[in-house]
Structure 1
Amino acid sequence: MKQEIIADLSRITEEEQAILDGKTEVEKERYSSGQKFVMDAGKLLKRGKLIDIRPHTRFIRFPAHSHNYVEMIYMCQGSTVHTINGDRIELKTGELLILNQNAVQEIEPAGRDDIAVNFLILPEFFDQTLRMIGAEENQLKDFIVGCLKSGEVPLCYLHYRIADVLPVQNLIENLVWTLLHHQSNKRSINQITMGLLFLQLMNYTERVQVGEQYFEQEMLLGVYRYIEEHYREGSLSELAEELHYDFYTLIRMIRRLTGKNYTELVQNKRLTQAAYLLETTGLSVADISERVGYENMSYFHRIFKERYGISPKKYRVEKKIE
């Protein structure tokens, strides 16, 4: 990260100066409105803003707290130690930690040279941002976004070890720069940049740590990633080998966690990809059928109609009319 940004984020704040002068506890009223220590977007975000940043407050321990917004923590320099729902995480330079509203977090005191930036993001920001990821349905995207936006997925954090991934580093730096400085069209820039950031992060889900207690969700993340990459020619046996799972154990876990079997998940991906190609390309129906993994055209027509209620050709015509 540019030293100019590091210098901006390294300045001793009024709060930090009070800590250096002897304050021994976090001033909860600065962050929270109620008796429970819940970081409150109403106190930390200016009215009307969906996203903002603030430097992480150093020199003091933050006791257990939660958030009523999505928090994304980027380690610009040094490291910080977090305990999230019992999992101890050391966040190192260039790494990213994303917490949803189910996360209970504690943070050990950071030193002067441990510079982290906290992104405060209201869930509705993602409704606008994630349109940038693409129009087609995507099970991997839906799983990751579900982790962030709702309590439906029992996964409270994503720890990305992406310090060596230059595109991700550049996009985060762009976000920090835009939010630190007053620029025209800032909201549009932030939405587009965040969309591009999530596109990149979806390419590095093998770099995500979610904690031992969430091993099933980590497995599911691997299943969705594999299907996204191999929906045309992949196999369940290859997936089991890649994830180091017993074949029959994996079958049972996929069914229990998704309500579908592996073949149904693959078919869902193939059909949504076919629909996307029908909407956005001039490829023939036969070419699309082959591209998504179906050599038998009559079978493709039948299952597409079962899914969408109309033939692939009619689907294309109706989407063009819309």
Structure 2
Amino acid sequence: MKYESVSREKSLEQLLREAPDNLVVLNPDSSTLQLYELHTPFMILLETCHEKRDFISMYQITEKESFSSQLTFSGYTNLINRPLHQHSCYEIMYVLSGSVTNHVENQTFTYGPGQCCVMNKNIKHCEELSGDFQVVFFMIQDIFLEQLLAEYEPASPSSSADTSPVFQLYLDSLNKNRRFDKVYLDYLPVIPADDALERLHPLFNFMVEEIRKTEPGSRFFLKGAFSRFLRILHTPSLYCMDRVQSDASGQEYIYSKVCHIMEASHGRVSREYLEMQLHYNGEYLNRIVKKYSGKTLLEYGQDIYLEEARRLLLDTDMSISDIITELGFSNRSHFYRVFRRAFGETPLDYRNRQ
């Protein structure tokens, strides 16, 4: 593994210029927009930022070589005001630890552990190199996605690989009416972040090891692992996904994320949990939900779990006790009280009458 310690005078763009020419920065002196051009079918980039310890490290991994380097905050004074950039490839950012501030077009978002975003080639963006975090980037060329689509044929139409939103970004780029769309995908775990990371860490480690081995068949294993990564992101019980147009309003975007979390948990989510997941004050989230739905967070969640309770009563043979457990209630009396208030009768009476 090649290692370089960067002097105080060098910038991040200079660092990338000196690295192997797998990732080249075009118009590096631009203060408004840069283009990162990938010269390999794919790259994995591990970025670690420790502002308190005054260092940033970057580890590039491709089929041909690896490149590791480190620079200091004190030696790079423009960390906060980096220009936005675009890629000649698709970029997947997955947060392993800490929190990352990401500037996407004219908006700013914070991503925490287990969260992920996928940028198409038209999106201008830039992660802010500040604070403490570790992020893995997957940079993927068209040819790599094309091979995945060709090699992973679906067993049935309902399991088609091209239904994955990531594959859809690639297919849209081939459509003359969609190729200039500014679209990105936003993934949020609906399970605890530690559980999501526990599923994905072994896959990431496996990918890195297979690339470094450079043995026969390594690329096949890599493609399989990457396909499994996309499948996990596309599993509703694990992740919710938003396909976002870059011109969507910030509040509308936040509201959609709240809705996904609430629906995935049958409406049984605390305000504190939403604050932790979305990095916004609970009262602010409450105002946004009220603006778009006309209901408070509590009322909105209640509507969701009552509708789910009604569906389970009518469409399944589950017992009342099992339904209460399924919906996450520890207080049976509270559930009965809320249900009677909404429907005017007990759950059992409602089922029998229907």
TM-score normalised to structure 2 length = 0.47
Look up the match of 1:85: 105
Q: Alpha carbon RMSD of aligned pairs, Å?
A: 3.9
Pairs within 5 Å for 1:199-218: 199-204=231-236, 207-211=240-244, 213-214=247-248
- On the 8 A contact 1:147/1:155 being kept in 2, the answer is no
Deviations along 1:41-97, one digit per CA (max 9) or x if unpaired, are: 12xx3xxxx222122373434421000011112222222211112232222223222
SS, match of residue 114 in structure 2? coil
Change in Cα spacing, 1:144 to 1:73, as seen in structure 2 (3 Å) is closer
Offset of residue 142 of structure 1: 5.8
Offset of residue 144 of structure 1: 4.1
Look up the match of 2:168: 146
Which of the residues 208, 231, 249 maps onto 1:176?
208
Look up the match of 2:38: 41
Look up the match of 1:94: 114
Which of the residues 24, 32, 35 maps onto 2:25?
32
- On the 8 A contact 2:34/2:84 being kept in 1, the answer is yes
Segments of 5+ residues of structure 2 without an aligned counterpart are 18-23, 49-55, 57-72, 74-78, 260-291, 294-354
Pairs within 5 Å for 1:10-25: 14=4, 17-18=6-7, 21-23=8-10
Distance 1:187 1:116 in 2: 23
- On the 8 A contact 1:79/1:93 being kept in 2, the answer is yes
Distance 1:110 1:203 in 2: 32
Look up the match of 1:187: 219
Distance 1:168 1:25 in 2: 29
Look up the match of 1:115: 134
Is 1:160 matched with 2:187? yes
Q: Which has the higher helix share?
A: 1
Amino acid at match of 2:168: G
Deviations along 1:239-290, one digit per CA (max 9) or x if unpaired, are: xxxxx99xxxxxxxxxxxxxxxxxxxxxxxxxxxxxxxxxxxxxxxxxxxxx
Look up the match of 2:228: 196
Which of the residues 43, 48, 51 maps onto 2:42?
51
Distance 2:199 2:154 in 1: 18
In the alignment of these two chains, the number of paired residues is 204
Change in Cα spacing, 1:133 to 1:100, as seen in structure 2 (3 Å) is farther
Change in Cα spacing, 1:136 to 1:128, as seen in structure 2 (3 Å) is farther
Distance 2:117 2:215 in 1: 26
Look up the match of 1:69: 89
Q: Which has the higher strand share?
A: 2
- On the 8 A contact 1:56/1:115 being kept in 2, the answer is yes
Deviations along 1:206-261, one digit per CA (max 9) or x if unpaired, are: 52244574569x98xx9xxxxxxxxxxxxxxxxxxxxx99xxxxxxxxxxxxxxxx
Change in Cα spacing, 1:53 to 1:25, as seen in structure 2 (3 Å) is closer
SS, match of residue 119 in structure 1? strand
Segments of 5+ residues of structure 1 without an aligned counterpart are 1-7, 223-243, 246-322
- On the 8 A contact 1:100/1:149 being kept in 2, the answer is no
- On the 8 A contact 1:73/1:119 being kept in 2, the answer is yes
Offset of residue 105 of structure 1: 0.8
Change in Cα spacing, 1:169 to 1:158, as seen in structure 2 (3 Å) is farther
| Percentage of matched positions with identical amino acids | 17
SS, match of residue 83 in structure 1? strand
